[in-house]
Amino acid sequence: MSEVHDVIIIGSGPAGYTAAIYAARANLKPVLFQGMQPGGQLTITTDVENYPGYPDGVMGPDMMEDFKKQAERFGTTIHFEQIIEVDFSVRPFKLKTDFNEFQSHAVIVSTGASAKLIGLEAEKTLMGRGVSACATCDGAFFPDKKVMVVGGGDSAMEEANFLTRYASEVTIVHRRDEFRASKIMVERAQKNPKIKWDLFQSITDIHAGDDGKISSVTMKDSRTGDSQVKDCEGLFVAIGHTPNTKIFEGKLDMDEKGYLIAEPGRTFTSVEGVFAAGDVSDSIYRQAVTAAGSGCMAAIDCERWLESQGH
Ligand code: NAP
């Protein structure tokens, strides 16, 4: 049987790396699994302007590289593999990747959340052929094109602004005329001359041209029920996120949206010895700085719990 670690951290966003920094400094020799998207959601964003300590802003991927280096500096072991199965019914806990099995006295879950899609069949087939869930990753492929961004939250505003660096015109398509986005982000988009608005509209279909790439979309007006087809050379879906908790179904308590339920104000999950940090258990704040804060809390909760168990 493999060595039993003190703590395994699943996920490599601000929560995971902060938990690793604190756990490593507490001499727990944490082992961190980066998962499918090393560095988490911040690696697919551009400027981070609201993380304290960076008065001029910082690029998301650069910030996550700094987090990683800091975690490594204090002795975190980082694996590129993804945890695909967990067994929390026995202690030490068992965690499987595609190739190996690991054991740990405690686990910190910081698997974050992933971008949601509209749910259209064509969205899947045209993903990478003009449909994208990441403006930062794909924006440069749309120079002088007319593109659309779906959504009315901060992500949609941010992506639309970012896309104006490349596209000739960016239309924000939103299903109502009120926005979840913060006022400052909406105003910034409203002031951008390249951004147009299609409000009260839902995308109901996506069409491809002869080249197999997106050429137009059908959108339906929620007030009249009328549909119309509009030319579109790129469609960026920015409609929120789903927590990455599939492997914990039936193993940890979750709310109806799949977010892990932690003890109020703490990081304890429904299984003793398993802690939750970051967006995976936060459907409200979902900020890099709150994720980092809860990563710190999880490491401290974990350290004290391990001590109480005599480890
Ligand atoms: P969000 O705030 O949940 O907004 C999602 C948007 O997508 C809403 O406008 C929603 O419309 C729309 N939507 C949801 N499902 C849809 C569907 N099936 N079809 C069409 N539209 C749909 O998500 P977010 O924008 O990703 O932001 C998440 C969190 O991250 C927020 O707390 C945000 O403040 C934060 N964030 C911050 C920044 C920043 O400060 N720089 C940048 C990005 C994100 P309805 O409003 O009608 O429900």
Superfamily of domain 117-237: FAD/NAD(P)-binding domain (3.50.50.60)
Average pLDDT over residues 1-21: 94
The arithmetic mean of pLDDT across residues 135-157, rounded, is 93
The pLDDT confidence band at residue 124, using thresholds 50, 70 and 90, is confident
Query: Does residue 232 have an active-site annotation?
Result: no
In testing the pocket of ligand 1, which one of 114, 157, 180 has its CB within 8 Å of the most ligand atoms? 180
In this structure, are residues 171 and 198 in contact, taking their beta carbons and an 8 Å threshold? yes
Q: Pick the closest to residue 16 from 2, 43, 35, 44 (CA basis).
A: 35
Would you place residue 36 in the very low, low, confident or very high pLDDT band (cuts 50, 70, 90)?
A: confident
Mean pLDDT confidence for 66-73: 97
Q: Is 302 a catalytic residue?
A: no
Please report the pLDDT score of residue 37 as a whole number.
86
Range list of H helices, the chain: 14-25, 60-73, 121-125, 135-138, 154-163, 183-191, 288-308
Q: What three-state secondary structure class fits 120?
A: coil
- The CATH code of domain 4-114+241-308 reads 3.50.50.60
The catalytic residue among 6, 138, 282, 301 is 138
Could you tell me if the CB of 151 is within 6 A of ligand 1?
yes
pLDDT at 70 over 80: yes
Which tens digits make up the pLDDT trace of 282-302? 988 888 999 999 999 999 999
Q: Which of 22, 42, 235 is nearest to 7 (CA)?
A: 22
The catalytically annotated residue of 47, 62, 134, 296 is 134
Residue nearest to atom 19 of ligand 1 (CA): 118
- Ligand 1 centre distance from Cα of residue 262 (Å): 23
Q: How far apart are CA 103 and CA 1, in angstroms?
A: 9
Cα separations (Å) of 142 from 146, 196, 215? 8, 17, 13
4-114+241-308 and 117-237, same CATH topology = yes
189 lines ligand 1 (CB under 6 A): no
Q: Which residue has the tokens 């105003």?
A: 187
Residue nearest to atom 2 of ligand 1 (CA): 153
Average pLDDT on 199-221 reads 97
Q: What is the reported pLDDT for 1?
A: 55
225-264 burial code (b ≥16 CB/10 A, e <16): eeeeeeebbbbbbbbebebbbebbeebbebeeebbbebee
Say what the pLDDT of residue 45 is: 67
CA distance 55 to 198: 34
Q: Ligand 1 within 6 A of 91 CB?
A: no
> Is residue 247 within 6 Å of ligand 1 at its C-beta?
no
Q: How far is the CA of 219 from the centre of ligand 1 (A)?
A: 19
Domain spans, the chain = 4-114+241-308, 117-237
| Alpha carbons 152 and 136: distance in angstroms, whole number | 18
Could you tell me which residues come within 8 angstroms of residue 18 by beta carbon, excluding any fewer than 6 positions away? Answer: 67, 277, 291, 292, 293, 295, 296, 299
CB of 174 closer than 8 Å to CB of 180: no
Strand ranges for 222-260 from DSSP E: 227-231, 234-237, 241-243
| Averaged pLDDT of the chain | 95
Q: How far is the CA of 241 from the centre of ligand 1 (A)?
A: 8
Task: Pick the catalytic residue from 137, 177, 231, 255.
Answer: 137
Q: What is the pLDDT of residues 161-194, one digit of tens each?
A: 999 999 999 999 999 999 999 999 999 999 999 9
